[in-house]
Amino acid sequence: METRLRWVVAIGSLAVVLLVAGAAIAQAVREHSLDPIWTVGWLPAVMVAVYPSLLRRDRSARRPCLPRLRRPAGS
């Protein structure tokens, strides 16, 4: 069930990005300017950064935490 929810979130976020990008392209055509496209140019970078964490299959695939050192502080 958790994997299905991740896919729904991933597809939903992609749909929102495409909607915002489409609106920016439409605004750029209306204004005859590339400024609206430059304004939303950061969205693909955000999606590339977020997608690996959304699509990770299991949380155990991450590197485990390091064990505690068993010595007194200040040694």
Q: What is the pLDDT along the chain (75 residues), one digit of tens a residue?
A: 577 777 888 788 889 888 998 999 999 999 999 998 888 888 888 877 877 766 665 555 566 777 777 777 766
Residue holding tokens 């939303």? Answer: 40
Residue type, 8: V
Residue 39: count other Cβ atoms within 10 Å of its Cβ: 13
